[in-house]
Structure 1
Amino acid sequence: MTQATTSGAAPGAAPAAPVTRRRVRGDGVDLAVYEQGDRSRPTVLLMHGYPDTHAVWGEVAARLAGRYHVVRYDVRGAGASSRPFGRKRYTFDYLMSDMRAVLDATAPERKVHLVGHDWGSIQSWEAACTMPERFASFTSISGPCLDHVAHWTRRNLARPTPANLKRAAGQGARSWYIYFFQTPLLPELMWLAGLSRPFSRALELGEGVAPRDGHPARTMARDGASGVGLYRANMVQRLRRPRDRRTDVPTQVIVPTKDLFVSPHLVGGLGGRVPHLSLRPIAAGHWVPRSHPDVIARWITEHITGVQGGPLTTAESRALKRARVGGDRRAFDGSLVVVTGAGSGIGRATALAFAERGAEVVAADLDLATAQRTAELAGLVGPAGHPYQVDVSDAAAMEDFAKSVLHDHGVPDVVVNNAGIGMAGSFLDHTVGDWDAVLGVNLWGVVHGSRLFAAQMVERGQGGHIVNTSSAAAFTPSRTLPAYATSKAAVLMLSECLRAELKGKGIGVTAICPGIVNTNITRTSRFVGRGTEEQARSQEKAARAYALRGFGPEGVAEQIVNAVRDDRAVVPVTPEARLSYLTSRLSPRMMRLLARFNAG
């Protein structure tokens, strides 16, 4: 056995565990096998794809080696392993023989935790389905089972709806290189003629994966030319005559939603063939082990720990529950949802709607007693709720609130910035203090909540969703609502800007725009420029009008839940809100004329 070094430790991190290299005899080939970490600990086998070598896992392996015995090897035709001649030498039978030889040499008589990326995942599916007794868990990344792909394609074509045809055609377009690899000699000649350099450049520009020592490998030209045999030996045969592949190995599928080669839709129907299945989407491209090694290493660890029944933090347990597929799982099981202004009205209804669907709710309000009541009600229909008192207009208080949520419960999956106050009256009657009050809660509260929790979501790297409560007043100008309408219009524009920025990080942003909704805000709204008695009469008049409209906060809550599920950008809730939104786009002049009407 000889010592070898591979890169992959995070810059500035503690030195990675040393890597040892040895040769293992596979089926007619010598395989270069790399080991890292304590051999007495559970073994994790990392399988690389095409046209990579074991080194693509460098960063992930470095993060896992302190806890596991990590094994990698260059598959036949790649890196320092032998390069057999002839297409037949790359069939699944040979690949499985190689894997068995590595398992026997590195982890004899015990189950290992299997992880595969790209072609490494494709052959790992074959292993998990044909020799499940060798594996304690399986994590698949960007490499589906070929038999499952064939069955998925046939199901879509058997029911040629526009959606099914679009999915099938989309994957067909992503698979262009597979057809190219079936042509004789040309792919090999292109690799040997210098395709490695533009490939590396495309990897850096397209996915932000900069070259580092070991990846892309210096042997890439030869690896790419030899590895074409994987496609020629297996693809067409399996897609034409798919087998009924199933596995009981606890399986986690990490789904990069920006993958240019593997459609996220390929996981459809997978639960019927893999009973112990978890799905974990990530806003990343195909080479996610290089671009997001922290997330991948963490998810592998969580999956293994869950399978082994080891101790998990609350956040880890919630994440695993959220990822599970099938059973009696509710839509938001395992999700953490933060709602501000949760003490009453739309906020309380939203908190309860998410709780009914399995979410753990953080109910925040300026009035602690009402927040406690909401948390108590949430606990009756879902997981235990958590009340917090916070003034959303206070930047320091919101900083403390966000830190407390992170420390006590973890990073939220959904944040609903709902807290708001109403104010009506002539612009000239609004004081600076009035403007400060409205903008402080309605706008700055949304800014604080979005800024603080979005930062947590981005750092976690697992996506999320932010919902900001705007209003139909955002696109319905009125002479009687200058401050309120301005604050809500700002929330709408802020939401659009945030959506553009955060979309690439897997974080959705929605602006909810209710119309006339019967909530307590009508009785707490201020009518500036009016005496005490006149103000009380105005509040009572508004409350009666909203009550007669008969649209309750539960209807808004349902729309919020649906908006998160469907990742909608702007949601005018009530019919009058939708009409105003449409009119504001088609006839702004009409809206300006209506704005002159004094409803007070």
Structure 2
Amino acid sequence: MRIVNSGDVRLAVFEEGPEDAPTVLLVHGYPDTHAVWDDVAAVLSQRFRVVRYDVRGAGQSDAPRGLEAYRLPHLKDDLFAVADAVSPDAPVHVVAHDWGSIQAWEAVTEPGAHQRIASYTSISGPCLDHAAYWFRTRSPRRFGKVLRQQLHSWYILAFHVPLLPELLWRGVLAKRWPEFLRLAEHVPPRPGHPAPTLASDAARGLSLYRANVRERFSRPRKRTTQVPVQVITPVYDRYVTPALAEGAERWAPRLWRRRLYAGHWSALLRDGAQVARMATELIDHVDGGVEPRRQLVVVTGGGSGIGLATAKAFAATGAEVVVCDLDEEAARATGLPAYRVDVSDEAAMRKFADDVVARHGVPDVLVNNAGIGHAGTFLATTTQEWERVLDVNLWGVLHGCRIFGELMAERGEGGHIVNVASAAGYLPAKSLAAYATSKAAVLMASDVLRAEVASRGIAVSAICPGFVATNITRTTTFSGLSEEEQELRRAAATKAYRRRNFGPEKVAKEIVRAVATGKALVPVTPEAKAGLMLSRLSPAALRAAVRHL
């Protein structure tokens, strides 16, 4: 720790990481201290020189008296004083949260700030001037959002009540704060947080609200910036709604938006590694000219049929697409990053996931498409045939869901898992015993997974094509038939499906649409839609209808 003077206020500044690396300045909010950044700093300090400071009135920094001392111009001067002291020869990258973000916006929108601030990542704290203009915009569509934000901001009015908030913080709230974070944000108690100075910090920090909110909202200024800005929105923030950052591009033309499936404080105290990663990505873009990451899509069984069509459809939207297939030659023929993978092999899938993350990152979309066909009645299908179908059609999907789903959940930015099932999953055709069973299991797996990962912002869609002309008919196996008889059946099935003339491109279009809309269950062909409707309206009639299939 060292002391940096800002006017007559002494600020406690904490530094870690390599001294010759770019400097990242972390600014905390209310009622925290620099310790709220512990998890973020632990990750960032592996590559950057990380600087944190206790803002005036908090932690080990001075606590000046009077509202005037807590106005935004003084807070802005504090930030620049620390930046100049720790990095006099190079601009710093700023990452800020809550009130730290509000005061950082004051600095970032100062004329010439781009010469001293290289990038800015803002979390749960708008520019008060921008917010004031947002509240003043009149439109029926915005009225509901404004009302919702006002309800979320109830505490601001409460903080303007004289004396009572101070008494509550010093008497009750500070002692109960760890329990509040545990219940409201799922953040367990941890050493060093909250700080032992919480009661006095929170009581003094009320001056931030009283000195600035009313003034800025009554006389907002037009504050623009040339600094590259990244706005991270914690989706479950109970105090700052996503709508409050609407229209920020008007003030910050170089602006990127990111979502983090976390709460106001859990964004730092639970998902700090994700915040560090997002901040690093912006820094790398600014310092190294790396383009912002495109949507990343992984497609299994991407060498042919529905998988190939889906890979091409996502690539046409501008996404980065990675495919895998058991047929390595077919996968590489797509012209996309390609891997040979047996989806039924868990170890192979984990290695595939490791390779994808190392070379491309965590996928935004996973399409579990790989599958095989098999025809045969229940009793005629051998144990080996059952195992082969279930290994690929069910376990291949489960491996993909578990391995990539865990990565999406850990990343914290949401995602989408698409499982290609089949209309056979709800049409109990006796001639497709193993195949229909595997696809029915995929439908149920999709349902239970959807319920589990929804809170992490991960959507799950099950796609049910019907009769689609793909090469699956040329590789389908049949129980109890000689190889010659199987070849005849394959030829007949291929001819029939070709005559049906429903191509995989139409399925791919529905998959892309499902990712855009978040639809849970998508029957594709007319017969798939009719079968689903009948399965819901009259299961008995459906069973009778398919009895001879």
Q: TM-score, normalising length from structure 1?
A: 0.83
1:352 aligns with 2:303: no
Question: Using the alignment, how far apart are the partners of 1:192 and 1:35 within structure 2?
Answer: 30
Q: Give the aligned partner of residue 141 of structure 1.
A: 123
1:431 aligns with 2:412: no
Question: Using the alignment, how far apart are the partners of 1:79 and 1:407 within structure 2?
Answer: 40
Q: Give the aligned partner of residue 472 of structure 2.
A: 521
Shift of 1:170: 3.4
The percent of aligned pairs where both chains have the same amino acid is 54
- Pick from 223, 241, 245: which aligns with 2:223? 245
1:126 aligns with 2:86: no
1:484 aligns with 2:438: no
Q: Give the aligned partner of residue 75 of structure 1.
A: 55
1:115 aligns with 2:98: no
3-state SS of 1:388 partner: strand
3-state SS of 1:427 partner: coil
8 Å contact kept, 2:362–2:411:
yes
1:395 aligns with 2:346: yes
Question: Using the alignment, how far apart are the partners of 2:469 and 2:43 within structure 1?
Answer: 53
Question: Using the alignment, how far apart are the partners of 1:519 and 1:40 within structure 2?
Answer: 57
Q: Give the aligned partner of residue 202 of structure 2.
A: 224
8 Å contact kept, 1:474–1:485:
yes
8 Å contact kept, 1:426–1:529:
no
Shift of 1:396: 4.0
8 Å contact kept, 2:232–2:260:
yes
3-state SS of 2:333 partner: helix
- Pick from 446, 452, 471: which aligns with 1:495? 446
Shift of 1:180: 2.1
1:511 aligns with 2:443: no
Question: Using the alignment, how far apart are the partners of 1:239 and 1:556 within structure 2?
Answer: 51
Q: Give the aligned partner of residue 177 of structure 2.
A: 199
1:51 aligns with 2:2: no
Shift of 1:496: 1.7
3-state SS of 2:366 partner: strand
Counterpart residue type for residue 5 of structure 2:
V
3-state SS of 2:132 partner: helix
Shift of 1:112: 1.7
Shift of 1:203: 0.9
1:475 aligns with 2:426: yes
Question: Using the alignment, how far apart are the partners of 1:178 and 1:586 within structure 2?
Answer: 52
8 Å contact kept, 2:170–2:200:
yes
Seen in structure 2, the aligned counterparts of structure 1 residues 86 and 572 have a Cα distance that, compared at 3 Å, is: farther
3-state SS of 2:379 partner: helix
Question: Using the alignment, how far apart are the partners of 2:147 and 2:501 within structure 1?
Answer: 46
Shift of 1:240: 4.3
Seen in structure 2, the aligned counterparts of structure 1 residues 176 and 427 have a Cα distance that, compared at 3 Å, is: same
Seen in structure 2, the aligned counterparts of structure 1 residues 67 and 386 have a Cα distance that, compared at 3 Å, is: closer
8 Å contact kept, 1:35–1:69:
yes
Seen in structure 2, the aligned counterparts of structure 1 residues 363 and 101 have a Cα distance that, compared at 3 Å, is: closer
Shift of 1:56: 1.3
8 Å contact kept, 1:31–1:80:
yes
Seen in structure 2, the aligned counterparts of structure 1 residues 388 and 226 have a Cα distance that, compared at 3 Å, is: same
Q: Give the aligned partner of residue 13 of structure 1.
A: none
Shift of 1:501: 2.5
Shift of 1:453: 2.5
Seen in structure 2, the aligned counterparts of structure 1 residues 485 and 290 have a Cα distance that, compared at 3 Å, is: same
- Pick from 340, 344, 358: which aligns with 2:300? 340
Counterpart residue type for residue 433 of structure 2:
P
Structure number with greater CO (CA < 8 Å, separation at least 6) is 2
Question: Using the alignment, how far apart are the partners of 2:510 and 2:240 within structure 1?
Answer: 32
Q: Give the aligned partner of residue 84 of structure 1.
A: 64
1:559 aligns with 2:510: yes
Deviation per CA, 1:249-272, whole angstroms, max 9, x where unpaired? 011222222222222343433334
Q: Give the aligned partner of residue 262 of structure 2.
A: 284
Question: Using the alignment, how far apart are the partners of 2:63 and 2:359 within structure 1?
Answer: 53
Shift of 1:531: 5.8
Seen in structure 2, the aligned counterparts of structure 1 residues 293 and 548 have a Cα distance that, compared at 3 Å, is: same
Seen in structure 2, the aligned counterparts of structure 1 residues 547 and 107 have a Cα distance that, compared at 3 Å, is: same
1:24 aligns with 2:5: yes
Shift of 1:51: 0.6
8 Å contact kept, 2:297–2:314:
yes
3-state SS of 1:130 partner: coil
1:300 aligns with 2:279: yes
- Pick from 365, 373, 378: which aligns with 2:333? 373
3-state SS of 1:392 partner: coil
Question: Using the alignment, how far apart are the partners of 2:243 and 2:21 within structure 1?
Answer: 36
Shift of 1:119: 0.7
Figure out how many residues of one structure are paired with residues of the other and give that number. 546
Counterpart residue type for residue 148 of structure 1:
H
Q: Give the aligned partner of residue 33 of structure 1.
A: 13
Shift of 1:539: 4.1
Deviation per CA, 1:32-88, whole angstroms, max 9, x where unpaired? 333334555433221110011122123333443454443322222222333334434
Counterpart residue type for residue 119 of structure 2:
S
Question: Using the alignment, how far apart are the partners of 2:246 and 2:507 within structure 1?
Answer: 30
Seen in structure 2, the aligned counterparts of structure 1 residues 527 and 69 have a Cα distance that, compared at 3 Å, is: closer
8 Å contact kept, 1:142–1:256:
yes
Question: Using the alignment, how far apart are the partners of 1:290 and 1:398 within structure 2?
Answer: 32
Shift of 1:138: 0.8
Question: Using the alignment, how far apart are the partners of 1:263 and 1:339 within structure 2?
Answer: 34
Seen in structure 2, the aligned counterparts of structure 1 residues 289 and 89 have a Cα distance that, compared at 3 Å, is: same
Shift of 1:435: 1.4
3-state SS of 2:187 partner: coil
8 Å contact kept, 1:405–1:411:
yes
Shift of 1:502: 2.7
* Structure 2 gap segments, 5+ residues each: none
- Pick from 230, 240, 247: which aligns with 1:262? 240
1:444 aligns with 2:444: no
Question: Using the alignment, how far apart are the partners of 1:83 and 1:459 within structure 2?
Answer: 39
Shift of 1:577: 2.7
3-state SS of 1:428 partner: coil
Shift of 1:538: 4.6
Counterpart residue type for residue 233 of structure 2:
V
Report which stretch shifted further, 533-542 or 236-245.
Answer: 533-542
